[in-house]
Amino acid sequence: MLGRLKLGLAVLAMVATPALAQRADISVGLVLEPPNLDPTSGAAAAIREVTYSNIYEGLTRFGPDGSVNPGLAHDWDISEDGTVYTFHLREGVQFHDGTPLTADDVVFTLDRARDEDSTNAQKQLFAAIDTVTAVDPLTVEVTLTQPQGAFLFNMAWGDAVIMSPESVETNATNPVGTGAFRFVRWVQGDRVELERNPDYWGEAPALERATFRFISDPSAAFAAMMAGDIDAFPNFPAPETLAQFEADPRFSVIVGSTEGETILSMNHQNEALSDIRVRQAISHAINRQDIIDGAMFGYGTPIGTHFAPHNPDYLDLTDNSAHDPEAARALLAEAGHENLTLRLMLPPPTYARRGGEIVASQLRDVGIRTEITNLEWAQWLEQVFRGKDFDLTIISHTEPMDIEIYSRPDYYFQYDSAELQAIIAELDETTDPEARTELLHRAQRHISEDYVVGFLFQLAKTGVANADIEGLWENAPVPANDLTGVRWTQ
């Protein structure tokens, strides 16, 4: 009997010892699965939420506070007139397939991104580039057609990461970058696995393995988190459970800001929605606080235009579209649309599914009927974002400083305003901070007063993580889950 007990203790000790060692793996939960893993060929933020700074890196990179820091370029010189940027690349950087990073890769990447056939979802980032030349293997000279204040910021985006011509064709399924983690496998519908890159040029990350798991169902996410199957969920889809996590010492709750303007998008090709009175009526029918409380349990900040409230250039224009069902009904009557039925397409995130039900109820109050269709993420990207086949949808635009999407007539909501396009074009050429602020204010006012879409709220970053993890980003200045600084404290 005693012998058996001793044996039992010995086994227990053997089992327990590894658990005392610091963990070096992490399982990160994401609501949406990326449609592919090539950030230069799709707008879905989920692509960058997996790959940014983990697999791929750009010339510059965003820090957790949104600041622009050196990336693959350790330094740069800017000509006095602000049109020539000379980037000095780091030495000894290798892609995961072993090919060295040279100036030619940068030339290739930037030329490819601004090519006519480019599939890049953010072509405007590269619009100011005139020529890109390799001066020597570690020096790249980028000439702009005019000075652009945001150029270094643009180069830090997930869409501007540097790729190698050898692997660019297969990056969608087998991503090859220069980052601290390299790709292991993608089990579609379930997870993406990464492992530490032993040849990384910079400081080696504390984590050896990282797995991104895709769980869009809030209750499944809750169960996975509670069971410890997921170590961190940076954008937890069930805000109603945060109080419970907060009360539990095993978890830490990280609430921060995102660049996600959550909007009730309207298709301007729809005959009724092309009428500003109808759009204004819809905007007045919406009660933002009810949506924030009902769908997000209070997490979120009302917005009246497409701009992040924590940005110093933000204007609070929520009064333009204050909740006023009377005015909404009057506007609909004036427009002759008292019997309007619109299709409301909802992607999986909680803000859309729950927010959509609330919006539908609020629209019903002013006499607009909606037909709700819940779409899976891939379907939403295909039908709504690419196919533009929708009347209304709810989505959070998580890219920073993305008010320029309203100047793209072929963007999925198809808003075409020469006036706004002129403002954005001017903004692009302006480097003087005061003049930029003025132009940003004009753009914000313009889209707010034209009721381009229904501006709902700024998405909060409601993250849940194991209390022993540190180094996760509190805010999301860009859609990203940079794991390079993440570690277990015990």
- Is 313 one of the binding residues for other proteins (CB under 8 A)? no
Sign of the dihedral through C-alpha 179, 181, 187, 191: negative
> Cβ 23 to other proteins, closest distance in Å?
27
- Cβ closer to other proteins: 360 or 472? 360
Stretch that binds other proteins, among 196-204, 353-361, 380-388, 417-425 (CB under 8 A): 353-361
> Cβ 468 to other proteins, closest distance in Å?
23
> Cβ 462 to other proteins, closest distance in Å?
13
Window 289 to 308, contacts with other proteins (CB under 8 A): 289-290, 293-294
Q: How remote is the C-alpha of 452 from its chain's centroid?
A: 21
Among 360, 392, 472, 483, binds other proteins (CB under 8 A): 360
Among 158, 177, 179, 218, binds other proteins (CB under 8 A): 218
| Euclidean distance between CA atoms 358 and 396, whole angstroms | 16
- Is 288 one of the binding residues for other proteins (CB under 8 A)? no
Among 11, 184, 243, 333, binds other proteins (CB under 8 A): 243
> Cβ 187 to other proteins, closest distance in Å?
20
Among 146, 170, 219, 341, binds other proteins (CB under 8 A): 219
- Cβ closer to other proteins: 141 or 290? 290
Among 41, 374, 414, 421, binds other proteins (CB under 8 A): 374
- Cβ closer to other proteins: 82 or 367? 367
> Cβ 8 to other proteins, closest distance in Å?
36
Question: What does the per-residue mask of binding to other proteins show for 89-118, with x meaning CB under 8 A?
Answer: ------------------------------
Stretch that binds other proteins, among 13-21, 171-179, 282-290, 412-420 (CB under 8 A): 282-290
Stretch that binds other proteins, among 61-69, 75-83, 241-249, 311-319 (CB under 8 A): 241-249
| Euclidean distance between CA atoms 282 and 292, whole angstroms | 17
The tokens describing 401, both together, are 């400083």
Give the interface size with other proteins as a residue count (CB under 8 A).
24
- Half-sphere exposure at residue 118, Cβ-oriented, CA atoms within 13 angstroms: 22
> Cβ 325 to other proteins, closest distance in Å?
13
Among 241, 267, 321, 396, binds other proteins (CB under 8 A): 241
Q: What angle do CA 432, 436, 441 make, to 5 degrees?
A: 155
> Cβ 445 to other proteins, closest distance in Å?
29
The tokens describing 272, both together, are 């009724």
> Cβ 361 to other proteins, closest distance in Å?
4
- Is 244 one of the binding residues for other proteins (CB under 8 A)? yes
Query: Between β-strands 73-78 and 68-70, what pairing exists: parallel, antiparallel or unpaired?
Result: unpaired
Residues near other proteins (CB under 8 A) are 218-219, 222, 238, 240-241, 243-244, 287, 289-290, 293-294, 354, 356-358, 360-362, 364, 372-374
